[in-house]
Amino acid sequence: MKIEIELPDWADERNIYVFAGIELAAIKTVQENKFRIKDIRCNSCGVCCTKLNLKTHFFPIVDNKCIHLIKEPGTEDKWRCRLGIHRPFLCSFWPEDRIGDLPEFCCITYK
């Protein structure tokens, strides 16, 4: 899919996020001069929501896991957020998405 839009000049000084539903599809940071397009999507392993600590997360944490993370019905290894489309913006990407260093456990890649 190709999308062309013209943004105002002030947007050049901001991070720009493109979402497909609640999933980040592309990102352009102030430090970069091009968009990084998500090449491999999230596989819903849930690891990013199970390696949390109380100092950095805004929802209650139980056993290092966000209380909103639930098993996908009928699966053994898939997870989902019970907040669905109401999940907060910051939960839609690992903070390192902004700088390009995703954790080793993550399957997401950008090109």
Tens-place pLDDT, residues 14-66: 999 999 988 899 999 888 888 999 999 988 888 888 877 767 678 898 888 89
Cα–Cα nearest to 83, from 105, 59, 107, 103: 59
Query: Residue 96's pLDDT is what?
Result: 52
Residue 3 within any structural domain of the chain: no
Query: Residue 97's pLDDT is what?
Result: 47
Query: Residue 99's pLDDT is what?
Result: 45
Q: In one letter, which amino acid is 109?
A: T
Residue 101 within any structural domain of the chain: yes
Residue 74 contacts by C-beta under 8 Å, 6 or more apart in sequence? none
Mean pLDDT (whole number) for 72-89:
89
Query: Residue 108's pLDDT is what?
Result: 84
Query: Residue 6's Cα: distance from chain center in Å?
Result: 25
| pTM of this prediction exceeds 0.85 | no
Number of domains in the chain: 1
Give residue 26's domain range.
9-110
